[in-house]
């Protein structure tokens, strides 16, 4: 196969043993469609070179002194998502394979590889690298969204992620947490919209000190004309650039909005923004169900008191009945107070589920921030509870990226190829 250098498959080798690096190079040197662009001696060096050289395929050793290949794989997938990582290892047990797959590895070859096996694996995973490279290196249309308006902005080429927050008990802090997370997530690279589907008494706009000029009713009224121009007219812009889709200005207007409106609006926002954050009312009605239908992640919130924990249990049962995947659910405890004697561990034990994060009770700080309409994440993020909300945000981003990777794996990874070796 004769190929131009720029069309050839860019391969990076990561292995701490010089002889192995050399052997791999030799096995590949006569393949005109394969170009070994770099060889790294440590996991750290592998991450650095992957970042600089943007290879299509990475041949990764598992056992290395500074950082093992699985950890390096995890880090590289985050930075160079199109790179396809093939693990080379003498350890071919199922546990290693599973960990490698979870970390984002695409394939697994036992060491030492035969030339044929190595080359055919590289060619097969490179096809996917090409498709993914195209997807990830298109000019970022998000930046266009972040500009002064949405008109003329290029369509966002991937579906944005919808993060909903819900509690069947009111007053636990859903709006407080979500409005802060929206401010934390929004940036020029990740324009974010915060939607209030608590249609009767939604207060997202109050938490951000914004007067409702336009609201979700204006979209529902013109649902057949829903496009970027209409979004541009209706979404309000917070001083930090975050877009807000406010709840109706009066409770009686909530009746104007149907679940079908919500579905269409959320789908349209997911095509326009990388992140769509949705606040809900505590009623599990057809509006909330429409939000759940579009959600990529659901943050459920409870406070450390028996009624809230009981409601959380009922919610988990309901989500199971609805077949809502547990991988899309995060459970957060808010207003944690040591003096109550209820710990996150005790709640986890009682509900038989993980507590993904907890936020301390800081009444004075939170109340002042809400009354001023200034989210805590716009101020000092080094102290609780802003610090904890920021940490929670990190976990949310991580969960989204793990879920996304798993979806890709389910799509693309053939367990037969891995296990059949
Ligand atoms: N970590 C916290 N520490 C102390 N108080 C908090 C904390 N988080 C929220 N609160 C307080 O709890 C109250 C309810 O918060 P919030 O409105 O965010 O809850 P909600 O779940 O959205 O309620 P609703 O059911 O009315 O929509 C607010 O008065 C807020 O000040
Ligand atoms: Mg609320």
Confirm or reject: Cβ of 370 under 6 Å from ligand 1. Answer: yes
Beta carbons of 299 and 177 less than 8 angstroms apart = yes
Distance 401 CA to ligand 1 centre (A): 28
**What backbone torsions phi and psi does residue 306 show, to the nearest 5 degrees?**
-60, -45
Burial 266-294 (b: 16+ CB within 10 A, else e): bbbbbebbbbbbbbbbeebeebbebbbeb
Q: Which of 168, 172, 173 to mutate to test the pocket of ligand 1 (most atoms within 8 A of CB)?
A: 173
Of all ligands present, the nearest one to the C-alpha of 358 is 1
List the Cα angle 329/378/231 in 5-degree steps: 65
304 lines ligand 1 (CB under 6 A): no
Q: Is the CB of 254 under 6 A from ligand 1?
A: no
Residue in 165, 167, 174, 176 to alter for ligand 1 test, most ligand atoms within 8 A of Cβ? 176
pLDDT value of position 143: 39
Pocket test for ligand 1, best of 179, 182, 305, 366 (most atoms within 8 A of CB): 366
CATH 3.40.47.10, applies to 5-137: no
- Say how many Å lie between the CA of residue 272 and the centre of ligand 1: 29
Neighbour tally for 378: CB within 10 Å: 17
Shortest-distance Cα residue to atom 3 of ligand 1: 361
Q: How far apart are CA 231 and CA 80, in angstroms?
A: 32
| Helix or strand holding residue 107 (H, E) | strand 107-110
Residues 365-408: pLDDT tens digits?
999 999 999 999 999 999 999 999 999 999 999 999 999 888 77
Please name which ligand lies nearest the alpha carbon of 180.
Answer: 1
Q: What angle do CA 81, 95, 97 make, to 5 degrees?
A: 40
Measured from the CB, is residue 179 less than 6 Å from ligand 1?
A: no
Strands across the sheet containing 243-245: 236-237, 243-245, 192-196, 275-279, 161-166, 297-302, 329-336, 357-360
Q: Is the CB of 362 under 6 A from ligand 1?
A: yes
- Tell me the residue ranges of DSSP E strands in 274-320: 275-279, 297-302
Assign domain 143-409 to a CATH class. Answer: alpha beta
Supply the pLDDT for residue 408: 72
Cβ–ligand 1 distance for 368 under 6 Å, the answer no
Contact yes or no for 2/46 (Cβ under 8 A): no
Give the pLDDT of residue 141.
41
The pLDDT of residue 197 is: 98
Separation CA 123–CA 107 (nearest Å): 12
pLDDT of residue 153: 56
b/e sequence 382-408, b meaning 16+ C-beta within 10 Å: eeebbbbbbebbeebbebbeebebeeb
Q: What is the pLDDT along the chain (421 residues), one digit of tens a residue?
A: 445 556 799 999 999 999 999 999 999 998 999 999 999 999 999 999 999 999 999 999 988 888 999 999 999 988 888 899 999 988 666 777 778 887 888 888 888 899 999 999 999 999 888 887 776 665 444 434 545 567 655 555 568 999 999 999 999 999 999 999 999 999 988 999 999 999 999 999 999 999 999 999 999 999 999 999 999 999 999 999 999 999 999 999 999 999 999 999 999 999 999 999 999 999 999 999 999 999 999 999 999 999 999 999 999 999 999 999 999 999 999 999 999 889 999 999 999 999 999 999 999 999 999 999 999 999 999 999 999 999 999 999 999 999 988 877 766 655 444 443 3
Tell me, in angstroms, the distance from the centre of ligand 2 to residue 209's CA: 15
Sequence-ordered alpha helix ranges (H) in 109-245 = 115-137, 142-146, 174-185, 204-207, 216-221, 228-234
The token duo for 257 is 């909005």
Determine contact, residues 164/280, Cβ cutoff 8 Å. yes
Ligand nearest to the CA of 170: 1
User: How many Å lie between the centroid of ligand 2 and the Cα of residue 172?
Assistant: 8
At 209, list the tokens: 């000190």
181 touches ligand 1 (CB under 6 Å) = no
Domain positions in the chain are 5-137, 143-409
Q: What are 239's two structure tokens?
A: 């001083």
- Ligand 1 contact via 167 beta carbon (within 6 Å): yes
5-137 and 143-409, same CATH topology: yes
CB 14 within 8 A of CB 58: yes
DSSP 8-state code for residue 83: P
């Amino acid at each position: 196969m004769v190929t131009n250098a720029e069309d050839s498959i860019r391969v990076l080798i990561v292995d701490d043993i010089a002889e192995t690096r050399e052997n791999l190079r030799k096995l590949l040197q006569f393949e005109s469609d394969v170009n070994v662009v770099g060889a790294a001696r440590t996991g750290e060096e592998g991450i650095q070179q992957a970042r600089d050289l943007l290879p299509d395929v990475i041949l990764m050793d598992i056992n290395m002194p500074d950082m093992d290949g699985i950890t390096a794989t995890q880090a590289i997938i985050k930075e160079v998502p199109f790179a396809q990582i093939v693990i080379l290892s003498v350890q071919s047990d199922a546990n290693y394979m599973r960990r490698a797959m979870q970390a984002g590895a695409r394939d697994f070859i036992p060491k030492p590889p035969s030339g044929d096996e190595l080359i055919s694996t590289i060619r097969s995973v490179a096809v996917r690298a090409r498709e993914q490279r195209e997807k990830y290196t298109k000019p970022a249309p998000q930046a266009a969204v972040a500009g002064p308006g949405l008109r003329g902005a290029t369509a966002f080429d991937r579906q944005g992620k919808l993060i909903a927050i819900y509690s069947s008990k009111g007053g636990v802090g859903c709006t407080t947490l979500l409005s802060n997370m929206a401010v934390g997530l929004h940036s020029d690279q990740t324009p974010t919209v915060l939607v209030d589907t608590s249609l009767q008494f939604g207060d997202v706009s109050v938490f951000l000190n914004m007067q409702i000029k336009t609201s979700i009713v204006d979209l529902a009224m013109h649902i057949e004309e829903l496009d970027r121009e209409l979004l541009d007219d209706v979404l309000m812009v917070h001083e930090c650039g975050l877009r807000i889709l406010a709840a109706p200005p009066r409770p009686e207007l909530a009746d104007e909005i149907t679940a079908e409106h919500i579905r269409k609006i959320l789908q349209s926002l997911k095509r326009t923004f990388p992140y769509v954050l949705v606040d809900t009312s505590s009623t599990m009605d057809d509006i909330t169900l429409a939000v759940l239908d579009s959600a990529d992640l659901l943050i459920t919130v409870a406070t450390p008191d028996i009624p809230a924990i009981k409601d959380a249990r009922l919610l988990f049962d309901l989500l199971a009945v609805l077949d809502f995947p547990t991988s899309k659910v995060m459970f957060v405890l808010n207003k944690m107070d040591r003096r109550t004697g209820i710990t996150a561990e005790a709640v986890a034990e009682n509900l038989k589920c993980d507590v993904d994060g907890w936020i301390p009770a800081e009444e004075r700080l939170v109340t002042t921030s809400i009354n001023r309409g200034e989210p805590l994440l716009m101020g000092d993020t080094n102290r609780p509870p802003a610090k904890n909300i920021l940490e929670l945000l990190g976990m949310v981003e991580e969960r989204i990226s793990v879920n996304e990777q798993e979806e890709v794996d389910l799509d693309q990874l053939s367990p037969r190829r891995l296990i059949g070796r």
